Structure 1
Amino acid sequence: MKTIFLLTLLLTFQVPGLAQFFSGEISYTVKIIPKIKNLNVDSILNQQPGTTSVYAITNGFYKSTYFKNGEVTYSYTYHGDTKRMYDEVAGKDYISFRDSRKGKTSRIRSIIYPDSTKVILGQKCFLVERVYEGYISKTYYALDLKIDPESFSSHLVGDWYNQIKEVKGSVSMTSINEYTTHFEINEVTKLTARPLKPEYFALPDKLIVASESALDKGVALAQLSKETIECYRHKMTAGLKDVPLNEFRSYIILIVSANGDLKYMEPYEKDKHELYKVAMTIISGCGINFIPGQIAGKNVDTLVYFPVDFSK
């Protein structure tokens, strides 16, 4: 049994002539290196989905799970068969999906430096530099550790398929993103090769809804009645009465069902003046109705970030 297990483990790495690709888990950690004095590094790290992550991958599937202080904060899972990326935030009762084929990129150029090498966790790596609008990325890819790029040919989000195709499937071992104020470094801390079946990437039993980016036709507001407009104005004026603000915008997270009803509502952020509570009462109590979003001509449940504006 030990011999069979060892053989299976070894074959998960690419072997010349056998066309085997990496399957398993890759652990990463993120670091922030400031370029300017007095940069609030903790604030930048708090904006990250996690300070460590585990990336599980096999042909046509992957899952990236993020952690802060040892607890899961967020994950996204790619299913090549559905061509969807499923986003799950810890503590939420729903999962939203994006269409992996609807990708945009701000990449300006890329250069491969095959002779600029370093060894990371025993893997000889080469450098690729990519210039984007707003930052420069330098990534070290393992020369002999590969995934099958064609099994991710529908993954255009993040320009990912084009990136892994460019490096012939090589696995990223360290990336260094340079911004105006700091460097963001993601580096591999552990490699665990093992076979992963599609069942490993199964989604938990939660409500699954479309993100707005996945829609062919977006969620829309139904025509507002005079009563709805007056209700909105009344609640807005009352909410701003003792608040030292002339203008404010509160975003409310909604799930608009396939029949236009609201399945879920919560604030995106809770402001100190509690205007988010007023925004929620406006949505729920002023007769605001929605026209559901569509994919391929069919109404779908959709996650919406709905803005409610306040002004004196």
Structure 2
Amino acid sequence: MKKSLLVLVIAIALTSATADKSVFTGKIDYSFSFSDLQGNDITNRMASIVGREQHYFVTDGNYKSYDEGQNITQLYNGRTNTYYGFWKDKTAHQIDALTRTSQQYLITKLDKKEKILGYDCIAIQVDTDESTSVYYYSPLLKIDPDTFLKHNFGDWNRYLEATSGALSLKYIITNHKKEYVWTVLATKITKMPLKTVDFEFPEGYELRN
């Protein structure tokens, strides 16, 4: 009996260890390109507003992003369920991540596949109040969706539920209201340990709401 219990405990421990290893912690680098609804390249114009790159760090219910100039652009703190957006003038705005940004969120599985950075990706389409987005993701690159259950803002929890926590390696957002197409493509994936303290509000920024 004791031997059986020992085997069971070891099995549970090994299963937990394997599950932890399957959850991604680290950085994904993305490049941006833009076009208008007629297909004309407007990347230079849009890059002056949102930049040309995103360096995205994620772990344990937290994430943050930097642009190509190492300016922080967004931060989500899971402990407080708070989202922060940052501007280049060293100011920031704060949003309660319980805030819902779209009433409509329709998911359609697509018969599309693409290989990105060695990952075989499948696709879904998401239709919201203002946009239609196609997301390419691999089930092998995922985070724990349960750590973002309260993240209504940007429909992040809805997306993670639809993909079982898988992160997108490419997405194409067609914003019908603002009339542009935004293509985001992963260029590098780096697994690395990250600490909770890395996702606190940064020094040197003034909070304005």
Contact 2:34 2:42 in 1 (8 A): no
Q: Give the deviation of 1:17 after TM superposition.
A: 7.6
Q: CA RMSD in A?
A: 2.4
What secondary structure, in the 3-state scheme, does the structure 2 residue paired with 1:42 have? helix
Aligned to 2:19: 19
CA distance in structure 2 between the partners assigned to 1:34 and 1:95 by the alignment: 29
Aligned to 1:161: 157
Match of 1:196 among 172, 188, 194: 194
Aligned to 1:147: 143
Q: Give the deviation of 1:42 after TM superposition.
A: 2.7
Q: Give the deviation of 1:124 after TM superposition.
A: 1.1
Percentage of identical aligned residues: 25
CA distance in structure 1 between the partners assigned to 2:191 and 2:40 by the alignment: 41
The alignment covers a number of residue pairs equal to: 191
Question: Which structure has the larger Rg?
Answer: 1
- TM-score normalised according to structure 1 size: 0.55
- TM-score normalised according to structure 2 size: 0.80
CA distance in structure 1 between the partners assigned to 2:182 and 2:130 by the alignment: 13
Corresponding letter in the other structure for 1:177: I
CA deviation map 1:89-147 (0-9, x unaligned) = 2332x43321111122153411123x532211011111001122343211101121110
Aligned to 2:64: 63
2:97 equivalent to 1:97: no
CA distance in structure 2 between the partners assigned to 1:158 and 1:40 by the alignment: 24
Q: Give the deviation of 1:149 after TM superposition.
A: 0.4
Label 1:177 to 1:196 Cα distance change in 2 as closer, same or farther (>3 A).
same
CA deviation map 1:51-74 (0-9, x unaligned) = 10100000111001123xxx2444
Contact 1:34 1:41 in 2 (8 A): no
Structure 1: 5+ residue stretches without partners: 1-14, 210-302, 305-312
- Name which structure has the greater RCO, CA cutoff 8 Å, separation 6+: 2
Q: Give the deviation of 1:172 after TM superposition.
A: 0.5
Aligned to 2:45: 43
Contact 2:64 2:72 in 1 (8 A): no
CA deviation map 1:261-291 (0-9, x unaligned) = xxxxxxxxxxxxxxxxxxxxxxxxxxxxxxx
> Which 4+ stretches in 1 moved above 4 angstroms?
37-41, 179-182
CA deviation map 1:32-63 (0-9, x unaligned) = 2444376654323333x211010000011100
What secondary structure, in the 3-state scheme, does the structure 1 residue paired with 2:29 have? strand
Match of 1:75 among 58, 69, 73: 73
Structure 2: 5+ residue stretches without partners: 1-14
CA deviation map 1:136-183 (0-9, x unaligned) = 211101121110000011110011101111110011000012345543
Contact 2:35 2:41 in 1 (8 A): no
Label 1:122 to 1:87 Cα distance change in 2 as closer, same or farther (>3 A).
same
CA distance in structure 1 between the partners assigned to 2:76 and 2:39 by the alignment: 39
Contact 2:99 2:153 in 1 (8 A): yes
Label 1:204 to 1:34 Cα distance change in 2 as closer, same or farther (>3 A).
closer
Q: Give the deviation of 1:193 after TM superposition.
A: 0.3
Label 1:38 to 1:107 Cα distance change in 2 as closer, same or farther (>3 A).
same
Label 1:157 to 1:199 Cα distance change in 2 as closer, same or farther (>3 A).
same
Match of 1:124 among 120, 123, 129: 120
CA distance in structure 2 between the partners assigned to 1:198 and 1:17 by the alignment: 20
